[in-house]
Amino acid sequence: MAKAYKAKWIIPSDGNLYENCALIVDEGKVQKIIPQNEIVEGDYTQIKDFQNALITPGFVNLHNHLQYSELKPHKPIGLKVRLKKIYTNIKKHYFLAGISKKSFIYKLSNLLSQYFCLTRDEKIASFKKGIELSLLNGTTAVVQLSKESKYFELLNQTPLKTYLFFELFSDSVETSKDEFRSIKKKIDKLKMQKSDNTFIGVAPHSVCCVHKRLFKILVKYCKKNNILMTIRLAESKEELDWLMHGFSDVDLLNEFTNNKKFEPLEIGLNPTQYLEKLDVLSKQLIISYGNYLTIAELEKLCENKVSLAYCPRISDNLHGKKLDLDVVMQYFPNRFGFGVNSMAFNEDLSLLNELRYVNKGQLSALEAIKYLTIIPSKILRLNNIIGSLETDKDADFNVFELDENENYEAVLNKTRPNHVYIKGKRVVKKGVLNIKN
């Protein structure tokens, strides 16, 4: 028998707002939304009354690195780990000597150094922490970017729906071919092993960290297999310098990460022109950041129906520059969602905090919830199962308890929900994780 969840307000992300209604769930699927006065007690195995509360669909995070959730400084244990840390620090100082510690390149290299020095168990623990924080913040589906496949089993076991985008790097024709063979082998294998909650895409890291040959291979592969691609675009000043001059501090970062220096396909192009030359622009592409995009580039991306993972807080934290929400709404109409990146460069994994950081009255609660739910689910092509509380979709939803004088608009001032359900099962109860680790 079905269960009924009563609340003062329900925003199902289908354009409607329901007052004094109940969400009906059966076998993990949404059945319908009905007025509370139509509920017959004997028809349901459970009737949960949240009273003055708001129910929304679960949130969708379009850009995250769960593996960087817990990179606390620690004293290395064991000779192997101590030697690894010493070697990494020497290497970092050698390649990045003279680079400002406040620069994006130095901060990123420092992050990679910290992560590299973790043991396998510490990396797994950090990844699990990211899953926990995501769930506590009402995220029920997340885009995870990583080069490693060791987290795959964890993703298969978690209730969190995950779109795993494999990060790719290459510095020559040869490494491009090797990287593609490696990732194709992983994808072919993981497709046979993945759960219903796990989805797979590819993520060439950026134009200055991926050789033109690999881009061309990936474009053909994604079109043939209908696979989504995501890339960091126009993120930093260093990226623009590399495209304009053929060199920048990015070259030092590439050397630090064991990639050789290589030059752009053509000198003097902007980031969007570069992707256009490589035939990358399409509705299968999701870009992240876009901090330095010009109006002409934004128009080109809009014309090609490219989507955006909007990460305003980390953009300001790392680059002191971000796209304004008004600009994002104009050039990515119904084709953007929010991302938090990671705990390494952000205060928390709250998508509501990400939204509030830029929303100065442009978005009402009803519109804002769409950009946290149904719109990013459409970008990921998962809107047949998540993103709204419509019949036969997974019952992934959040419950926000409201104060006596609050209505549904108060969600814009919340940080996280009080309860989180995935497929009808409560995974967060009164702000506390409610699943086995």
Q: What is the per-residue pLDDT for 80? A: 57
State whether 405 and 351 are in the same domain.
no
pLDDT category at 437 given cuts 50, 70, 90 is very low
State whether 12 and 85 are in the same domain.
no
Q: In the predicted model, what is the mean pLDDT of residues 5-13?
A: 98
Q: Out of 178-192, 373-387, 400-414, which region has the weakest mean confidence (pLDDT)?
A: 178-192
CATH number reported for the structural domain that contains residue 90 in this entry: 3.20.20.140
- For 46, the domain range is 2-57+388-433
Q: Out of 12-16, 98-102, 234-238, 365-369, which region has the weakest mean confidence (pLDDT)?
A: 98-102
State whether 182 and 154 are in the same domain.
yes
Q: Out of 91-100, 190-199, 239-248, 280-289, which region has the weakest mean confidence (pLDDT)?
A: 91-100
Q: What is the pLDDT of residues 163-176, one digit of tens each?
A: 999 999 999 999 99
Q: Is the pLDDT of residue 60 over 70?
A: yes
Work out how many domains the chain is built from and give that number: 2
State whether 227 and 368 are in the same domain.
yes
Q: Tell how strand 53-57 and strand 397-401 pair up.
A: antiparallel
Q: Out of 150-154, 201-205, 231-235, which region has the weakest mean confidence (pLDDT)?
A: 150-154
Q: How far apart are CA 204 and CA 232, in angstroms?
A: 8
Q: Is the pLDDT of residue 291 over 50?
A: yes
Q: What is the per-residue pLDDT for 253? A: 81
State whether 51 and 114 are in the same domain.
no
Q: How far apart are CA 139 and CA 117, in angstroms?
A: 29
pTM: predicted TM-score of the whole model, two decimal places = 0.94
- pLDDT averaged over every residue in the chain: 92
Residue pair 428/65 in contact by the 8 Å Cβ criterion:
no
Q: How far apart are CA 292 and CA 228, in angstroms?
A: 23
